Amino acid sequence: MAPTNEQIAAPKKDTPTFSPNKVTVLFVLGGPGAGKGTQCANLVRDYNFTHLSAGDLLRAEQDRKDSEFGDLIKSYIKDGKIVPMEVTVQLLENAMKEVVEKDKDHKGKFLIDGFPRKMDQALKFEETVCPSKFVLFYDCPEEEMQKRLLKRGKTSGRSDDNAESIKKRFKTFVETSMPVVDFFQKQNRVIKIVATKTPDEVYKETKEKLEQRLGKEF
Ligand code: C5P
Ligand code: MG
């Protein structure tokens, strides 16, 4: 039977997989080398968050033997471009499901690091996976981030910690990812943190601002 007009026109309505009443999601954003991963590790230690880095999940998928997306991810990462969002959103949702299913008592507190980096990722994730509470945004000038990335590149083995890729990643950040920060800012959902200081100092500000917003027990 042919679909009726109504069926064709009806927008696909998705209910998020996780309820924001049960699961806490904080997005962690900032340019490459702003210190997102470092600060997430501190928050995991002190507040029992689960840390999911979109970049780490993409690199793991890239290296997975049977992945159909391996080559695609590899070329996007090297060029500092944003991988098509379906791939990244699915990897995050799978990782979240695994954590929640494994540990039924898990309070479901997630730091989603390096995501969303593009508006389509933001909208898709909040619509189909879980609305986030807010964004932790690490603000750092490019000169400082470049210095950190080149230093990290000596040992990271990452295909994108080199001068040429770094330049492309900065361009993507300014053109594609900052609009996401601005979008959440307009909804008063951004906690901005100065990320130029030492890791300890940056963490102090992170804790203070988080506790201001969420209370001491979260
Ligand atoms: O966050 P990280 O620097 O590890 O990300 C590395 C690369 O992974 C990005 O430059 C981009 O190519 C890809 N990525 C993406 N979408 C995200 C996060 C990372 O395409 N949300
Ligand atoms: Mg990182």
Q: Where are the domains of the chain?
A: 24-52+109-212
End-to-end alpha carbon distance in the chain? 52
> Could you please report the per-residue DSSP string of 65-93?
TT-SSHHHHHHHHHTTPPPPHHHHHHHHH
What CATH fold (topology level) applies to the domain 24-52+109-212?
Answer: Rossmann fold (3.40.50)
To test the pocket of ligand 1, the residue of 75, 83, 148 to mutate (highest count of ligand atoms within 8 Å of its CB) is: 83
> Could you please report the per-residue DSSP string of 126-137?
HHHT---SEEEE
State residue 35 phi and psi, 5-degree precision. Answer: 105, 20
Among candidate residues 26, 28, 27, 35, the one with its CA nearest the CA of residue 140: 35
Nearest residue (by CA) to ligand 1, atom 6, is 55
Question: pLDDT, tens digit, for every residue of 49-105?
Answer: 999 999 999 999 999 999 999 999 999 999 999 999 999 999 999 999 999 988 876
Question: pLDDT, tens digit, for every residue of 7-46?
Answer: 555 556 579 999 998 899 999 999 999 999 999 999 999 9
| Ligand 1 center from residue 10 Cα (angstroms) | 34
Band (pLDDT 50/70/90 cuts) for residue 5 is: low
Which ligand 1 atom is the nearest neighbour of the CA of 172? 10
The answer to whether the CB of 44 falls within 8 A of the CB of 88 is: no
Residue with tokens 């994730």: 125
Among candidate residues 63, 92, 67, the one with its CA nearest the CA of residue 158: 63
**What is the rounded distance in angstroms from the CA atom of residue 182 to the CA atom of residue 185?**
5
Which ligand 1 atom is the nearest neighbour of the CA of 32? 3
